[in-house]
Amino acid sequence: MAAIFTRVPGADVQEGTLRGRFYDITFDAAYATGGVALDPDSAGLVGQIVGINWVAGATVAGTAPTSLMVPQFDFKNQKIQLWGTAGSAAGLTEIAAAQSLATVVIRAQVYGF
């Protein structure tokens, strides 16, 4: 699964060698269990991503969301995971494998080198 990073213009931050870039991250049609792998190149960075600040929660392009999705950055595996409420489950569970997220967009500030 791939994510599309659309850079938010005029919102770059740099402090020493640490760079921060704002993106609207759009997911695709088949969520993979364990999350979406991030490629530093696609985020305009030359080294490992060291953190993500979530600026806005997951929204569905063009419509109001029908359920809340909570993003999480997995530092070790460099992936974005999405969590939500599933049926009668208590608490948050990872979004089901192969679920289409093609209309889900998350605004985030991505930090790295």
Cut 0.85: pTM above it: no
DSSP string of 52-75, one letter each residue: EEEEEEEEETTB--SS-EEEEEET
CB atoms within 10 A of CB 19: 19
In order along its 113 residues, the chain shows pLDDT tens digits of 578 888 889 988 898 988 888 888 888 888 888 998 887 777 777 778 888 988 866 666 655 555 668 889 998 998 999 888 766 667 888 888 888 888 888 889 988 88
The number of folded domains in the chain is 1
Residue numbers of the domain that contains 53: 4-112
Assign residue 43 the CATH number of its domain.
2.60.40
